[in-house]
Amino acid sequence: MLLELADECKQHIWELLDIQELCRVACVARNADQGVCIGPIWQRHARTLLAEGQEALQADLGVLSCRLQRRNASRNLLARDEKLEMMAIPQNEEGKLSGMYDTIDWRLWCRDTHVALTRFRTNNTGFAQAMSSLQELKTERSQLKEAMQNVKASSHADKHTRRLQMNCVKWMNRTHRRQAANAALSKAELAARLQSVENAIQATAQQRYFT
């Protein structure tokens, strides 16, 4: 059915197809695009892919936008450079450039652009996930360091408390031994005085009653 259409109708239909539909038609009927100026259509799709990729890159607020100088890392591939605009192309070179332009396979160029953008999005997502994991590890490391500092401080406090307790025990032991020694000394003195009093009583009694 597509092969039976006039070239002008096919041209309008092909201009309405997107990339996936163009690929499906090419797979179903290889010669269906005969009579269609297919190069500008693929070129338009390629430029659309580039524009969407650059818009996503400029609007990206994720990890890469914070870490990289996007201004220098990606130029606007669709905008012409100011220096190039100032340079005038000689007339004898315009024919060569138009010939090269006509020989470009825009379908393959569009495919390579799609592959490059897909790989970039995949790498960007992977890098963002890696940076997120790294940030989580750094957070965990800081928490562990803080916990280690708390454990060390608690250990020092426990040692200080035990040192105070041991000092109290030592002081109590010294005081108890001193009091015990004083008690023993007082008992001995009392016993000695009692014995001297007993001796004095016996001596006085003997002197009084046996003389």
State which amino acid sits at residue 30: R
Residue 82 predicted with pLDDT over 60: no
Looking at 39-43, 151-155, 189-193, which range is the least confident one? Answer: 189-193
| Dist CA 68 CA 131 (whole Å) | 13
What is the distance, to the nearest Å, from the Cα of residue 198 to the centroid of all Cα atoms in its chain?
95
Query: Which residue's structure tokens are 């890469």?
Result: 64
Residue 10 predicted with pLDDT over 80: no
Tell me the C-alpha to C-alpha distance, in Å, between residue 67 and each of 13, 51, 63, 129.
Answer: 45, 23, 6, 14
Quick one: residue 176, left, alpha or beta (phi over 0 = left, psi -120 to 50 = alpha)?
Answer: alpha
When pLDDT is cut at 50, 70 and 90, the band that residue 35 belongs to is: low
pLDDT at 151 (0 to 100)? 80
| Dist CA 142 CA 151 (whole Å) | 14
Residues near 63 by beta carbon (within 8 Å), at least 6 away in sequence: 127, 128, 131, 132
When pLDDT is cut at 50, 70 and 90, the band that residue 34 belongs to is: low
Instruction: Give tens-digit pLDDT for 15-27.
Output: 777 777 777 777 7
Query: Which residue's structure tokens are 């562990």?
Result: 144
Residue 140 predicted with pLDDT over 70: yes
pLDDT at 36 (0 to 100)? 72
CB 159 within 8 A of CB 167: no
CB 15 within 8 A of CB 42: no
Q: What Rg, from alpha-carbon coordinates, does the chain have?
A: 51
Tell me the C-alpha to C-alpha distance, in Å, between residue 158 and each of 87, 108, 154.
Answer: 80, 74, 6
Q: What percent of the chain has pLDDT over 90?
A: 0
136 compared with 178, residue with greater pLDDT:
136
Q: What percent of the chain has pLDDT over 70?
A: 65
107 compared with 128, residue with greater pLDDT:
128
pLDDT at 85 (0 to 100)? 45
| Dist CA 72 CA 78 (whole Å) | 16
| Dist CA 30 CA 73 (whole Å) | 40
Looking at 15-19, 95-99, 109-113, which range is the least confident one? Answer: 95-99
